Structure 1
């Protein structure tokens, strides 16, 4: 395995951020489903420099709560 820049990969997957002028992304956590060459599926978690496991946990917990919220709507949902 080799380290690869996430930007081109995320761009290729169509990932965008809905940011207003002046917004600053302070840190990031990427969770990726990876299919290995042999077909094995694995989970990859990478974060920005300086992020602790506690920061990771907080982002994952907040995202999970948000996604489970009945008010959460994602563009393209068929609800």
Structure 2
């Protein structure tokens, strides 16, 4: 069954810090999902028109950003 990601992400408290005039050009969601039988799996969904190369680039850039010592996490407050 396929569900819209918006309400799910809203329920998880996910927001984007966008400035005036900022435009989200593409997006990719990586989600840890616990199935009804208790099995844990990983889902990856992306916006329309995104190629595997775009996916790889976003994941690589996000990985570099998260590993950066200057990266501010929400739980660092």
Give the aligned partner of residue 65 of structure 1: 64
How do residues 1-79 of structure 1 correspond to structure 2 at under 5 angstroms? 2-77=1-76
Secondary structure of 1:25 counterpart: coil
TM-score normalised by L of structure 1: 0.94
Q: RMSD between aligned alpha carbons?
A: 0.9
Deviations 1:1-40 (A, max 9, x none): x110000000000000000010000000000000000000
TM-score with structure 2 length normalisation? 0.96
Per-residue deviation at 1:76?
2.6
| Structure with more helix by fraction | 2
**Aligned structure 1 segments of 4 or more residues deviating by more than 2 angstroms:** none
User: How many angstroms does 1:74 deviate by?
Assistant: 1.6
* Structure 2 spans left out of the alignment, 5+ residues: none
The count of aligned residue pairs is 77
